[in-house]
Amino acid sequence: DAGITQSPRYKITETGRQVTLMCHQTWSHSYMFWYRQDLGHGLRLIYYSAAADITDKGEVPDGYVVSRSKTENFPLTLESATRSQTSVYFCASSERGEAKNIQYFGAGTRLSVL
Amino acid sequence: RKEVEQDPGPFNVPEGATVAFNCTYSNSASQSFFWYRQDCRKEPKLLMSVYSSGNEDGRFTAQLNRASQYISLLIRDSKLSDSATYLCVVNNDMRFGAGTRLTVKP
């Protein structure tokens, strides 16, 4: 029961480089989410997706791009990484987008932009 | 004002103590609320949902006060293993609080 997996777990990159963080879930959950977590800010929603080919912006989408060509995958791309994007990134999924649905999180990706 | 705010913490309590956290939210139309637990350098995991009438799960009690727009989490008989950061989330907006850190000491 793999659940939801993120890769890589750790990534160091340089300013200006493109970086893609991967997220894969095996539950066939409709909804998937990307958050970043920084000290003092808690989890902030970057993008979410209600289904394949449907994505929407969250609270902090600038500098990020997402796609969802398949239900099980939801990659997050930093097109030109900046130091302010150094953070821990969590992917999550939920069965439906209804307000009562629980989100299940991946183990996170720790990204450092030098 | 942030849309979801939590007690800043940290809370340092002895084993066996009762501790309570609050979380206020600004969107009066919010419908569902949860408490998640996050251990150091790990992903958040659901602790419990918060129901309108209040609900209990063992030593944990969650309550919702719609009039004052806050939810609370009460932990009785604290254990060392309860040490973690507790995040509240208001699901309509997928807004998480910044978290309250709890350390239970022997």
CB contact under 8 A, B98 and A59: no
Chain A contacts of B37, Cβ < 8 Å? none
Cβ count near B44 (within 10 Å): 28
Contact by Cβ (8 Å): B38, B96:
no
CB contact under 8 A, A90 and B31: no
Closest to A67 (Cα-Cα) out of A48, A45, A88, A82? A48
Render pLDDT for A75-98 as a digit per residue (tens, 0 to 9): 999 999 999 999 999 999 998 766
Q: How far is CA B29 from CA A81, B44, B59, B67, B91, in A?
A: 36, 25, 29, 11, 11
Strand pairing of B60-65 and B70-75? antiparallel
CA distance to partner chain B, nearest, from residue A64 (Å): 18
CA distance to partner chain A, nearest, from residue B105 (Å): 23
**Which chain B residue lies closest to A5 (C-alpha atoms)?**
B43
How does pLDDT run along chain B (106 residues), one tens digit per residue? Answer: 678 899 878 999 999 999 999 999 988 888 889 999 999 989 999 999 998 888 999 999 999 999 999 999 999 999 999 999 999 998 766 788 889 999 999 9
Cβ count near B32 (within 10 Å): 18
